[in-house]
A and B are shown apart, each in its own frame.
Chain A
Amino acid sequence: MSAHPHAREDKPPQSVQHGALSVRDLDKSFQIGGRPHKVLDGINLDVRPGEFVSIVGASGCGKSTLLRLIVGLDTDYSGELRLDGERIATTSLDRGIIFQDHRLFPWMTLEQNVELALLNTDTPKDRRAKIVADHIALVNLTGFEKAYPHQLSGGMAQRAAIARALVTEPRLLLLDEPLGALDALTRVHVQNELQRIWMAQRSTMVMVTHDVEEALYLGDRVIVMSPNPGRIRRIVDVDLPHPRDRRSPLLHRLKDEILAELTSGADADAADNLVHLPSREPR
């Protein structure tokens, strides 16, 4: 479980070798009411080093479960998960994750929260402060080093969480609806920052989102999942260079396609599930 943060500094960002994720025949079940309930079924996926992959899909289709398996928080699955050929058995400083809730520790300042991530890396102690400051600058929070989480806005706290996740320079960064709790404006802002950060760092990133536009804006590919059990329904290539223009016609066309795909099944279900409330019946 060795991490080599900051070992890549001397290499140009283009020459990404680390961070190839491979998912083979992944099945995952939970016991619900004593019976197994299949949540992920036959997931196969290869993520290239330095690639940004977005995952969209109905709520409950197993997106968070998939990320928790990849990061190593849950190890009860069948199939194979490998990062750079190495089988994933538990968590590792090579794999970072950002959750929808920032999960900063309220009694630590922003700086202390970020530094916590370096605790068990082999980063020399005398360089840690500098590295922490650099990552706080990377997410544009310079000046807030001594702020406690409750003193940060939602957007700032989420950016702090991004800094904490990046400070170990993980080969693979997983993002589980990282911007889901932000308002529309803050969201666009942090999306831009995320794109800038990814272009600068070129870690492999896999981001779950419920916002198709966001998925397309950031992703080199968008994985569309379907529920019950969670399967990969379609993989959409977004063949546009970064940084991207939100107004690009390709993005809009793909958005319509993916939305149609996501809602086609749901509409049929919705018609079946329509419940007539007697009291609301037209008189």
Chain B
Amino acid sequence: MTSRAADLLPPVRPRRAFQLSGLPVGALLAPLLLLGLWQLLCLSGVFPPQVLVPPSGVARTLEEMALSGELQRHLGDSMRRLLLGFAIGAAAGMAFGVTIALSRLAEAALSPLFLTLWQVPVIAFVPMMVMFLGIDEPFKLAVVAIAAFFPMALATFDGIRGVPKSWFEVAKVYRLSLFQLIRRILLPATVPAVLTGLRVSLTRAWVVLVAAELLAADSGLGQMMEMGRQLFQIDVVLAGVIVTGLVGFLLDRGARWVESHATRWRAA
């Protein structure tokens, strides 16, 4: 006869490390500090201004590129690739995860290969893919899809395998059909894991896409940076770095927001 402390506590709202709306002032402290140091370093004259462009210069470049529409063009191309490639990769990953989670045979046959390939950095596939696909859109979509595929497959697999046996028993007691079991128990039970998988694979896909564009592309944020490097326009490179980071940050935040709102029923 034990009394569980959890019974006596009021329900707690899901804990979130950061709020999307109303960013705490503290969150701005580190970036501002970094900008200050950067500006100071430029003023000190240790590096020539062509090598280390001051933040003000990068800001000016960003503004110019935004006004000319060049930034939007690159960003738009990257985002289009990201979303399309991600949709393909995540859907395939989800289907694959469901398959190996539900079929022991499929798991035995496919999971060793899957786990081996998973250890290979996606970028390592790039040279081979360039040979087969060239450097046009199919190549970039494939890179993004592969990057999204693995975390998604793994999260889906874990999500389904993590459904407690006791829930299957409840379904059996109430005579749920297979379709009812999937729709009412398995799907909602795996939603949290799948959403986490979507977030991880989305941000992973973004990083890999920009890296792939750096290596081989004719447009996109990565290519913008690579062109800047070749033309020794370090301000353009730094502008690309900042935009890449911001986009990644916002993708992560957006996905977290969806996650916490879709799983409001979860206790802390």
Q: Which residues of A contact B (CB under 8 A)?
A: 1, 71-73, 91-93, 95-97, 99, 101, 103, 105-108, 116-117, 119-120, 148, 150-151, 153-155, 168, 181-184, 186-187, 211
Contacts and interface: CB of A to CB of B under 8 A. Distances in A.
Nearest to A68: B169
A116 B176 CA distance: 9
B22 interface: no
Contacts of B2: 181, 183
Nearest to B8: A153
A187 B172 CA distance: 28
Interface string B10-28: 0100000000000000000
A94 to B, nearest CB: 10
A101 B7 contact: no
Contacts of A101: 166
B191 to A, nearest CB: 7
Interface in B218-268: 263, 265-267
B3 A105 contact: no
A99 B3 CA distance: 18
A119 B11 contact: no
Interface residues of B, number: 28
Interface stretch (B57-65, B115-123, B180-188, B206-214): B180-188
A96 B188 contact: no
B170 interface: yes
B266 A150 contact: yes
B131 interface: no
Given A105-B167, A116-B174, A150 B188 contact: no
The winner among B3, B4, B185, B263 for most chain A CB atoms within 10 A is: B3
Nearest to B268: A150
Nearest to A151: B11
7 contacts: A71-B173, A96-B173, A116-B184, A119-B184, A153-B7, A183-B1, A183-B7
B104 interface: no
A130 to B, nearest CB: 19
Nearest to A155: B7
Contacts of A184: 1, 3
B144 to A, nearest CB: 31
A154 B267 CA distance: 14
A109 to B, nearest CB: 8
Given A103-B166, A148-B265, A153-B8, A91 B175 contact: yes
Contacts of A73: 169, 172-173
A187 B267 CA distance: 24
A104 B207 CA distance: 40
B84 to A, nearest CB: 31
Nearest to A95: B173
B215 to A, nearest CB: 43
A106 B174 contact: no
Given A106-B265, A108-B265, A120-B176, 16 more contacts: A91-B173, A103-B169, A105-B189, A106-B266, A106-B267, A107-B189, A108-B188, A119-B174, A120-B180, A150-B11, A150-B265, A150-B266, A150-B267, A155-B7, A184-B3, A211-B1
